[in-house]
Amino acid sequence: MVMENLMDQQLITATIVDMKWERITVQLDVKLDMRADIQLDDLDFYLVNNAYKARGFFKIEKLEDNVVRLRINVTNPGNCQCLMMGTYSIYVCDQEKVYTKCIVDPKVVPFMEDCSRTFLHNNRKKGYIVNFSVSETEEELVLVMYVMDAEKIPMQLKSNRQIVKEAIKEPICTLKRNMGHMYWNSVYHHYVKKYKKYKHTVLFMTEQSPTLGSNLVAVKNRMKERGMDNEYTILESARPASYEKMTKKSTRELIKKLARSKYVFIDDHAPILDWLVLNERTKLSQLWHAGAGFKSSGYSRWGHLGCPAPVSCHRQYSYGIAGSRHIGKFFAEVFGINDEQILPTGMPRMDEYLDENYQNTKREELYNTYPMCKGKKVILFAPTYRGRKRADASYPYHMIDFERLYDFCGDEYVVMFKMHPWVDEPVPIKEHMKDRFVDVNLYPNINDLFYIVEMLITDYSSNIFEFSLMRKPMLFFAFDKIQYSFSRGFHRDYEEAAPGKVCYTFDEVMDALEKKDYEYEKVEEYVEKHFDYIDSNASDRVIDWILLGNIPEDIKESIKATRKKVKKMKNMDFSSLKEEE
């Protein structure tokens, strides 16, 4: 579609009066001065490169009659890919008409350099750079946005020996890795052709553990309960590939299963899918294990250690799931996909969790396993881990005043300690404290513990999602919030989102316990925002919406509208502006 150039008519002036970042999203406030017959609702704003191709479109929020806020996620400008390298301007359009470019208010110019960003990735070996300036060739202060992906370069001279060594070693390592990927891709496509007649195969898969996670198990079991295993072939694959080297036999078996499958469900990052591109007939859905905590993951932590590469497994998702439409945008940001692709089905594992008979059975089992808890008020101390990954995961036990907590318990309370599964070091409970403290790290399912727990003490963990439905108080021990925000990042304001009182020292935790100062009113607010459904039907919704295609019509229409807009953007041709510029 060739765009009609109306810029010389000066029908609109679009001036950027403020700019800032919200994690990975550029936010621009634009003041519009336009002819009366032009409707704001008809306008679109596109990032257009020097080849006169549109590579991203802005989400638009109206602030005042003549001021709009433009937002664009650089890891997903609408097409579920990172914004491509290039030099960009922002064009204001109406269908096939181009009205103007965005210019910058002179008051904003001095601060533009501060708004430039470098997002480090690939273990900080590369940097995705977004830089802002103004055009040097035009009279007006036209915004120019540079995007590039840079590699680390040496900062000192090398000896001949070093030069030769690196010239040989690095290309060989790269070639060896790429040859392996090429081989397995060819194996995959061989099996895709071989199994092309398989129409109803579903694969439940994890690369994070030798056993399937609870969301996957819940959907798989529900399919069988509904008799769908008579119509569908149900396959499983559970490997600890994220932290252990897998055999060729194991990889081949997984690739065969992927080639057979029309639907693949995973519940975390799957490293093999960072480089193995699934056939278009296969639909990959992410049933992420976390409900909704605070810590950033995936592309929400772009620029932090452990963030994904620009091209990763996440880019292949057809759908993800969340507990509500309100929080779907956070999951979309994590996975680098569009908001509409996050379906508010609820968490499948919650089906069993909310079942009254299951709750009663588990309570009885827990009291038999931990008889010291019977007749007492139970506090559960369950924080997340510290460290970058499983290999160095830990928790600083010295931050806990065990003596003061023990004295507080008296004859009324018992404290259960449940650390993150990656933390190997046991809780240092002294012998004389074992009548009030118990280490429950070996208990398999933290959610079951919630049935006998009176209060949860945590930090940045997503366990608050399930616990909130118990309608019981929570405290947040965030002694390292600043450090944690740099290493992991938050995808929303921590204090505002925490459904309970936030404490920054253990003395503050103890004061809150002693005074019963929990800010409990935040719990109900949290539940209202995070759950569209509070029932035992989440697995059915996953099956009905994704497998059977019965997605609610309004969500289906939103998905279609975004796809249509992306397709339109790809076909837009701004070359009519070339002569003028």
CATH code for the structural domain at 179-351+538-550: 3.40.50.11820
For residue 580, the model assigns a pLDDT of 59
Question: Could you tell me which residues come within 8 angstroms of residue 539 by beta carbon, excluding any fewer than 6 positions away?
Answer: 218, 219, 221, 222, 348, 351
For residue 294, the model assigns a pLDDT of 63
Task: Please state the length of the chain.
Answer: 581
For residue 68, the model assigns a pLDDT of 96
pLDDT (average), residues 9-14: 94
CA–CA dist 531, 292 (Å, integer): 10
Range of weakest confidence among 64-68, 277-281, 568-572: 64-68
Question: Could you tell me which residues come within 8 angstroms of residue 204 by beta carbon, excluding any fewer than 6 positions away?
Answer: 212, 216, 217, 219, 220, 234, 235, 236, 237, 265
Q: What confidence tier does 65 reach under pLDDT thresholds 50, 70, 90?
A: confident
Which residues share a beta bridge with 238? 206
For residue 581, the model assigns a pLDDT of 56
Give the Å distances, CA to CA, from 469 to 302, 330, 351, 493: 31, 20, 12, 22
What tens digit of pLDDT does each residue of 99-132 get?
A: 999 999 999 999 998 899 999 998 888 999 999 9
Over pLDDT 70: what percentage of the chain? Answer: 93
Other beta carbons less than 10 A from residue 426's beta carbon: 12
For residue 159, the model assigns a pLDDT of 64
CA–CA dist 51, 361 (Å, integer): 65
CA–CA dist 237, 266 (Å, integer): 10
pLDDT (average), residues 458-476: 91
HSE-up of residue 434 (Cα within 13 Å, Cβ side): 9
Computed from CA positions of residues 280, 244, 203, 420, in that sequence, does the dihedral angle turn out positive or negative?
negative
CA–CA dist 480, 460 (Å, integer): 10
Inform me whether the pLDDT recorded for 337 exceeds 80. Answer: yes
What tens digit of pLDDT does each residue of 518-566 get?
A: 999 999 999 998 999 999 999 999 999 999 999 999 999 999 999 999 9
Structure tokens at 565: 């807009």
Element (H, E) at 67: strand 67-73
Other beta carbons less than 10 A from residue 462's beta carbon: 18
Listed in sequence order, the DSSP H helices in 410-544 are 446-449, 464-467, 481-487, 494-497, 506-515, 521-530, 538-542
Residue bearing the bigger pLDDT, 284 or 308: 284
Q: What are phi and psi of 57, to 5 degrees?
A: -125, 150
Q: What is the DSSP string of 431-451?
A: GGGTTTEEE-TT-S-HHHHGG
Q: What confidence tier does 137 reach under pLDDT thresholds 50, 70, 90?
A: confident
Q: What are phi and psi of 128, to 5 degrees?
A: -90, 115
For residue 197, the model assigns a pLDDT of 83
Give the Å distances, CA to CA, from 92 to 41, 98, 136, 140: 12, 6, 20, 16
Q: What confidence tier does 198 reach under pLDDT thresholds 50, 70, 90?
A: confident
For residue 129, the model assigns a pLDDT of 95
- CA 188 distance to own-chain centroid: 28
What tens digit of pLDDT does each residue of 28-54 get?
A: 999 999 998 899 889 999 999 999 999
Inform me whether the pLDDT recorded for 163 exceeds 90. Answer: no
pLDDT (average), residues 424-444: 92
For residue 279, the model assigns a pLDDT of 94
Type of residue found at 577: L
For residue 167, the model assigns a pLDDT of 56
CA–CA dist 252, 493 (Å, integer): 44
Range of weakest confidence among 192-201, 485-494, 530-539: 485-494
Q: What are phi and psi of 165, to 5 degrees?
A: -60, -45
As a whole number, the mean pLDDT across the chain is 90
pTM of model > 0.95: no
Type of residue found at 36: A
Name the residue ranges covered by the structural domains of the chain. 4-154+566-577, 179-351+538-550, 355-530
HSE-up of residue 543 (Cα within 13 Å, Cβ side): 22
Q: What is the topology classification, in CATH, of domain 355-530? A: Rossmann fold (3.40.50)
Question: Could you tell me which residues come within 8 angstroms of residue 327 by beta carbon, excluding any fewer than 6 positions away?
Answer: 292, 529, 530
Inform me whether the pLDDT recorded for 579 exceeds 80. Answer: no
Q: What is the dihedral of CA 207, 213, 218, 221, to 10 degrees?
A: 60
pLDDT (average), residues 237-262: 94
Q: What confidence tier does 386 reach under pLDDT thresholds 50, 70, 90?
A: confident
Q: What are phi and psi of 4, to 5 degrees?
A: -85, 125
Q: What is the dihedral of CA 244, 302, 525, 515, to 10 degrees?
A: 70
Same fold, 179-351+538-550 and 355-530: yes
For residue 391, the model assigns a pLDDT of 78
For residue 493, the model assigns a pLDDT of 72
Mapped onto helix, strand or coil, the DSSP state of residue 208 is coil
For residue 495, the model assigns a pLDDT of 76
Structure tokens at 51: 């080849």
pLDDT (average), residues 215-233: 96
Listed in sequence order, the DSSP H helices in 226-371 are 248-260, 325-335, 350-353, 356-369
Q: What are phi and psi of 281, to 5 degrees?
A: -75, -15
